[in-house]
Chains A and B, each alone.
Chain A
Amino acid sequence: MTTNASTNAPANASAEPVPRAAGSTRKRTSLGLGRLYLRRFLRNRLAVVGVVIFALLVLFAALGSRFTSRTYTDADFTALTQQPSARHWFGTNQGGNDIYACAVHGLQRSLTIAVSVSVLTIVVAAIIGSGAAYFGGRVERVTLAVIHFLLIVPSFLILALVSHRLAGDWRVLIVVLTVFGWMSTARVIWSVSTSLRERDYVKAAEFMGVGPLRIILRHIIPNLGSLLIVNLTLGVVATVLSETALSFLGFGVQTPDVSLGTMLADGAGTVTSAPWLFAFPAGLVVLLTVSMTFIGDGLRDALDPTSVTGSAGGRR
């Protein structure tokens, strides 16, 4: 998609579009699609804020452990349930674990699980849903039958059983959450794609001799853009929640491993007596979901050609 960008990159070194003066147009026949979307995305301030927050969270998760000598498994028996202090920046819990170290590790876990599950879910759902809609006929009927069958299976129960059996390995959790999480999104994507399949531009592409895979990837899925992105951001939030629920019930991430979910579950009981146990993981979850929402909005505006915010004349 960005293949064209390289050749005329020097011509558009400045981020803003040059007023279309006659004569200067010859060089810049086209921007790569990716570059165009990036430019539109960067116009949205909140989206940039979201990216910054998200980047800080990722940095925090990746590098936060460098600033402390403790790990999330170390127990300081001289400081049980201590308030935040110079020694324990986020305080400690009932077992003497340093909350800062736990939060860094928990965020790492939760981020990895949430982002990979929601991305995998969307990719699987988009391909299956739009593929079923585009090909129609028997493919469509079989796919829908599978989706409907999986939807009525009590997935939470199976999820609990499977993850318990595999002793709470977080990678297994990703697979399990994806396998049982794509159906409802795929169903929604299918129903929207059935109307896209009838669009003139899809027919036009067929008449031009464009192959089915390319039609799905270039014409159907991008036009589901905002739907996919809303689902992606909601998916992150939903995955954090279901991971929390599983962990709370003892089926998700298992001790001694921690995630934001287990920390929330642990801290929920002592919100009034030791609020820091709950506040720090909760704050991280909020930052994570808010940043995802901002990014989602920005992406939607950037990908949506009719949006006012993204276009050159729009709000800066």
Chain B
Amino acid sequence: MTLATPLLDPVPPTDATPALSVRDLRISFPSEAGTVEAVRGVDFDLLPGRTLCIVGESGSGKSATAMGIMGLLPPSAELRGQVLLGGQDLVGLDDPSLSKIRGSSIGMVFQDPLSALTPIFSVGRLLSDALRVHQDLTKRAAWEQAVELLDLVGIPDPRNRAASFPHEFSGGMRQRVVIALAIANRPSVLVADEPTTALDVTVQAQILEVLRQAQRETGAGLVLITHDLGVVAGHADDVAVMYAGRFVERAGVGELFRRPTMPYTARLLAAVPDVEGGARKPLVPIGGEPPTLVNLPSGCPFASRCAVSLDACAHDEPKLRHVTGHGHVACLRAFEIADGTLDPAGDTPPAGQPAAAGRAEAAEVALRGEVALRGEVVLRVEDLVKTFPVTKGALLKRRVGTLHAVNRVSFELRAGETLGLVGESGSGKTTTLMEILRLGRPEAGRIEIAGTDVGTVPSAVRHGQLRQDVQIVMQDPLGALDPRMPVFHLLAEPLRAIGRDRESIRARVHELLTLVGLDESVSDRFPAALSGGQRQRVGIARALATEPKLLALDEPLSALDVSVQAGVINLLARLQRDLGLAYLVVAHDLSVVRYISDRIAVMYLGHIVETGDTEAIFNDPQHPYTRALLSAIPIPDPERERTRERVVLQGEQPSAARMPAGCVFVDRCPLYRSADDELRHRCRTQRPEPTPAAGRPTHQYACHGI
């Protein structure tokens, strides 16, 4: 199903009365260290039918703003300012009166759809309850409306599905139900707090479409809170960039992306890997850390990280001012930047900032594409199979089926090379990684590491040399580091495990810290006292301790903020070049994968459906699934994002317990739907074999229809 979605809606006239007005909103929380000023004066008007995106990194106060508007802050929080909804001020209202407004005039879409739905009620019941709280309806009428709402948000067979419970729905379907709940009483304002962060990229595209439709249906104004600049580019009318509890830039989406005027915005955009870039543009991380919001010193909170800060920046915090032809910017040098006489990224980074090092790294990355040295084969996987039994019964477990998590997966990886495994969650990419790391005999097939067949070697070798050769960097750096061990001991652990003596451990830890660009003073700190980027650097240093040949990276960047991400990407690239490492990357963020991978393998339902060089796959995807996956990535550029052609996939990945006999993608395949009977028969009954694309022997795909 290919369609050119008309994404640019006509902008409604701007003289309409705002659906929501926020005036000087301030939120503070008490804490041991002092009062945390999470939100420090936020103003905006939201017109009916418009979408305001609030973007910012974690801790910038964007979620606190949403909760403050909804009146859902914890009782210890202090809320000041005005939240005007249809002329009524919500600040200072007691909970019963707020409850009348929440759900009827304001609808909320939460991040985690599972915890947002009460598990003991059917979704029909949840919806009709939500309707009956605010409207005088009979049970039957409410149920009918609930079914209509489910239909509206695109739940197939809504009449029967209304009786199902939340856990019987998949993540995307649950989020649709949450949206249905939010719009049930036709609110004039919708607040969506990171509505798609927990979802896959193909489902994210569907959900954002549903949200847009729900907004069109109800005419509500939407406050969309997100950290994903691609989502902003595709869906916002206006954008507010939040930093240290304030808006630092507020503008129309076109102006903002065309000429970001606050230096922070400019640097943020420069730090995002761009999928459509073609050539790898160097990523420039923002040095330093966001300030803690306790006892904030006077002056611009970004000044210490800003490349173009003046002495005056340290004295007064700039107010949000109107800049002609742009929007509102809180920067002393906004006019210079807006008329193009000043580059907000600055030519000289501020003294003492790691930005200088970051730049050098970035420049190296840019070179990397050409000098990728291909060494010996470090990892060879042939026909790897992994199944899990599906059991039933509490006391006596019966085997009722088999879950084919990984099905005949083959690839190889050379030293100095990066292979990206991509696919939706449940496609078997993490299971593949874990099977390799487990170093056990695979269920079927072969795993060969540096020429050694893992299945046949004696266990002494397996625990000795092989263990040293393969290491992992995990997704969540905080979870992967034992909170009770200081950095020195974290880094020493793998070295102790291979029996190094104390002096050489000390020397090696020192070396590792230097290698990943950490100061030695962190070595007696606990992980909780480090910043996100520092933690991931410790995680990488630990993985490198035993001088591995192969580094498995399981979503290495998804827990990091954009500004930090760029620094870690650059670090990984430098390490690979210096140490000749092979990277096996599992990630769902395709723009990051494109940026760091030499080759890509696209997985669907335990199968590799397409594999090839990164640029070949991104420029000329063959398999219909790859095409859909690629077109679902939001691009951080509103013009391209809104005019490109996209393939929206229907439905979600089926369970791997009921594997189709033929092509695994057949149920969602847009080619299958338009195919003739003979081809359909082949898709149904034969599993397609990998075939090379025309003129490119390394680019293989498994499809009957092309």
Binding site for B on A (CB under 8 A): 3-4, 20, 25-26, 28-31, 33, 36, 199-201, 203-205, 207-211, 214, 218-219, 222-223, 225, 303, 305-306, 308, 311, 313-314
For chain B residues 166-223, which have a beta carbon within 8 Å of chain A? none
Q: In the complex, which residues of chain B have a beta carbon less than 8 angstroms from the beta carbon of A33?
A: 485-486, 489
**Inter-subunit contact B502/A209 (CB<8 Å):** no
Expressed in whole angstroms, the minimum distance between the Cβ of B227 and any Cβ of chain A is 22
**Inter-subunit contact A208/B467 (CB<8 Å):** yes
**Inter-subunit contact A201/B519 (CB<8 Å):** no
Known: A30-B488, A209-B497. A25 touches B521 (CB 8 A): yes
- Residue of B464, B509, B524, B546 touching A36 (CB-CB under 8 A): B524
Q: In the complex, which residues of chain A have a beta carbon less than 8 angstroms from the beta carbon of B521?
A: 20, 25
Q: How far is the CA of A201 from the CA of B473 in the complex (A)?
A: 11
**Inter-subunit contact B486/A209 (CB<8 Å):** no
Expressed in whole angstroms, the minimum distance between the Cβ of B507 and any Cβ of chain A is 9
**Inter-subunit contact A31/B524 (CB<8 Å):** yes
Expressed in whole angstroms, the minimum distance between the Cβ of A277 and any Cβ of chain B is 45
**Inter-subunit contact B480/A36 (CB<8 Å):** no
Q: In the complex, which residues of chain A have a beta carbon less than 8 angstroms from the beta carbon of B389?
A: none
Q: In the complex, which residues of chain B have a beta carbon less than 8 angstroms from the beta carbon of A207?
A: 437, 467, 470-472
Q: How far is the CA of A206 from the CA of B435 in the complex (A)?
A: 13
Encode contact with A along B410-453: 1 for CB under 8 Å, 0 otherwise: 00000000000000000000000000010000000000000000
B373 within 8 Å of A (CB atoms)? no
B533 within 8 Å of A (CB atoms)? no
B481 within 8 Å of A (CB atoms)? yes
Known contacts A203-B474, A222-B482, A306-B528; 20 additional CB pairs below 8 A are A3-B502, A4-B488, A4-B506, A29-B523, A31-B486, A31-B524, A33-B485, A201-B480, A201-B482, A204-B481, A205-B482, A208-B471, A208-B542, A210-B496, A211-B497, A223-B482, A303-B484, A305-B526, A305-B527, A311-B529
User: Which 6 A-B pairs rank lowest in CB-CB distance, beginning with the nearest?
Assistant: A30-B488, A305-B526, A209-B467, A200-B479, A200-B480, A208-B494
Known: A20-B521, A308-B32. A209 touches B484 (CB 8 A): no
Q: How far is the CA of A169 from the CA of B496 in the complex (A)?
A: 45
14 contacts between A and B (CB under 8 A): A4-B502, A4-B506, A25-B520, A30-B506, A36-B524, A201-B479, A201-B480, A203-B480, A205-B482, A207-B471, A209-B463, A209-B498, A214-B497, A305-B483
B351 within 8 Å of A (CB atoms)? no
Q: In the complex, which residues of chain B have a beta carbon less than 8 angstroms from the beta carbon of A30?
A: 486, 488-489, 506, 509, 523-524
Q: In the complex, which residues of chain B have a beta carbon less than 8 angstroms from the beta carbon of A211?
A: 497
Chain A interface secondary structure, helix, strand, loop or mixed? loop
Encode contact with A along B597-630: 1 for CB under 8 Å, 0 otherwise: 0000000000000000000000000000000000
What number of B residues sit within 8 Å (CB to CB) of A?
A: 43
Q: How far is the CA of A201 from the CA of B528 in the complex (A)?
A: 14
Expressed in whole angstroms, the minimum distance between the Cβ of B239 and any Cβ of chain A is 35
Q: In the complex, which residues of chain B have a beta carbon less than 8 angstroms from the beta carbon of A201?
A: 479-483
**Inter-subunit contact A36/B486 (CB<8 Å):** yes
Chain B interface secondary structure, helix, strand, loop or mixed? helix
- Residue of A3, A29, A225, A308 touching B520 (CB-CB under 8 A): A29
Q: In the complex, which residues of chain A have a beta carbon less than 8 angstroms from the beta carbon of B519?
A: 25
B476 within 8 Å of A (CB atoms)? yes
**Inter-subunit contact A306/B483 (CB<8 Å):** yes
Q: How far is the CA of A208 from the CA of B527 in the complex (A)?
A: 18
B382 within 8 Å of A (CB atoms)? no
B321 within 8 Å of A (CB atoms)? no
In this complex, what residue of A is CB-closest to B32? A308
Encode contact with A along B230-259: 1 for CB under 8 Å, 0 otherwise: 000000000000000000000000000000
Q: In the complex, which residues of chain A have a beta carbon less than 8 angstroms from the beta carbon of B484?
A: 222-223, 225, 303, 305
Expressed in whole angstroms, the minimum distance between the Cβ of A21 and any Cβ of chain B is 9
**Inter-subunit contact B486/A219 (CB<8 Å):** no
Q: In the complex, which residues of chain B have a beta carbon less than 8 angstroms from the beta carbon of A200?
A: 474-476, 479-480
Q: In the complex, which residues of chain B have a beta carbon less than 8 angstroms from the beta carbon of A29?
A: 488, 506, 509-510, 520, 523
Expressed in whole angstroms, the minimum distance between the Cβ of B389 and any Cβ of chain A is 15
Q: How far is the CA of A211 from the CA of B464 in the complex (A)?
A: 12
Q: In the complex, which residues of chain B have a beta carbon less than 8 angstroms from the beta carbon of A208?
A: 467, 471, 493-494, 497, 542, 546
Expressed in whole angstroms, the minimum distance between the Cβ of B496 and any Cβ of chain A is 8
- Residue of B463, B486, B520, B527 touching A26 (CB-CB under 8 A): B520
In this complex, what residue of B is CB-closest to A309? B32
Q: How far is the CA of A25 from the CA of B509 in the complex (A)?
A: 14
Q: In the complex, which residues of chain A have a beta carbon less than 8 angstroms from the beta carbon of B706?
A: none
B395 within 8 Å of A (CB atoms)? no
Expressed in whole angstroms, the minimum distance between the Cβ of A207 and any Cβ of chain B is 5
Q: In the complex, which residues of chain B have a beta carbon less than 8 angstroms from the beta carbon of A31?
A: 486, 524
In this complex, what residue of A is CB-closest to B545? A208
B33 within 8 Å of A (CB atoms)? yes
Q: In the complex, which residues of chain A have a beta carbon less than 8 angstroms from the beta carbon of B498?
A: 209
The residue among A4, A208, A306 with the most chain B CB atoms within 10 A of its own CB is A208
Q: How far is the CA of A50 from the CA of B9 in the complex (A)?
A: 69
Q: In the complex, which residues of chain A have a beta carbon less than 8 angstroms from the beta carbon of B464?
A: 209
Q: In the complex, which residues of chain A have a beta carbon less than 8 angstroms from the beta carbon of B509?
A: 29-30
Q: In the complex, which residues of chain A have a beta carbon less than 8 angstroms from the beta carbon of B523?
A: 29-30
Q: In the complex, which residues of chain B have a beta carbon less than 8 angstroms from the beta carbon of A314?
A: 32
The residue among B468, B470, B488 with the most chain A CB atoms within 10 A of its own CB is B488
Q: How far is the CA of A271 from the CA of B489 in the complex (A)?
A: 56
Q: In the complex, which residues of chain A have a beta carbon less than 8 angstroms from the beta carbon of B32?
A: 308, 314
Q: How far is the CA of A26 from the CA of B480 in the complex (A)?
A: 27
Q: How far is the CA of A205 from the CA of B229 in the complex (A)?
A: 36
Q: How far is the CA of A214 from the CA of B489 in the complex (A)?
A: 13
**Inter-subunit contact A204/B33 (CB<8 Å):** no
In this complex, what residue of A is CB-closest to B475? A200
Known: A20-B521, A29-B488, A33-B486. A210 touches B493 (CB 8 A): yes
Q: How far is the CA of A58 from the CA of B430 in the complex (A)?
A: 56
Q: In the complex, which residues of chain A have a beta carbon less than 8 angstroms from the beta carbon of B483?
A: 201, 223, 305-306
Q: How far is the CA of A29 from the CA of B525 in the complex (A)?
A: 11
**Inter-subunit contact A308/B33 (CB<8 Å):** yes
Q: In the complex, which residues of chain B have a beta carbon less than 8 angstroms from the beta carbon of A204?
A: 472, 474, 480-481, 542
Q: How far is the CA of A210 from the CA of B493 in the complex (A)?
A: 8
Q: How far is the CA of A181 from the CA of B618 in the complex (A)?
A: 64
Q: In the complex, which residues of chain B have a beta carbon less than 8 angstroms from the beta carbon of A313?
A: 33
Q: In the complex, which residues of chain B have a beta carbon less than 8 angstroms from the beta carbon of A36?
A: 486, 524
Q: How far is the CA of A209 from the CA of B466 in the complex (A)?
A: 10
Q: How far is the CA of A305 from the CA of B509 in the complex (A)?
A: 21
Expressed in whole angstroms, the minimum distance between the Cβ of A137 and any Cβ of chain B is 13
Encode contact with A along B509-537: 1 for CB under 8 Å, 0 otherwise: 11000000001110110111100000000
Q: How far is the CA of A307 from the CA of B1 in the complex (A)?
A: 54
Q: In the complex, which residues of chain B have a beta carbon less than 8 angstroms from the beta carbon of A203?
A: 474, 480
In this complex, what residue of B is CB-closest to A26? B520
Q: How far is the CA of A219 from the CA of B496 in the complex (A)?
A: 14
In this complex, what residue of B is CB-closest to A202? B482
Q: How far is the CA of A199 from the CA of B546 in the complex (A)?
A: 22
Expressed in whole angstroms, the minimum distance between the Cβ of B186 and any Cβ of chain A is 43
Q: In the complex, which residues of chain A have a beta carbon less than 8 angstroms from the beta carbon of B476?
A: 200
Q: How far is the CA of A210 from the CA of B542 in the complex (A)?
A: 13
Q: How far is the CA of A4 from the CA of B489 in the complex (A)?
A: 10
Q: How far is the CA of A204 from the CA of B315 in the complex (A)?
A: 46
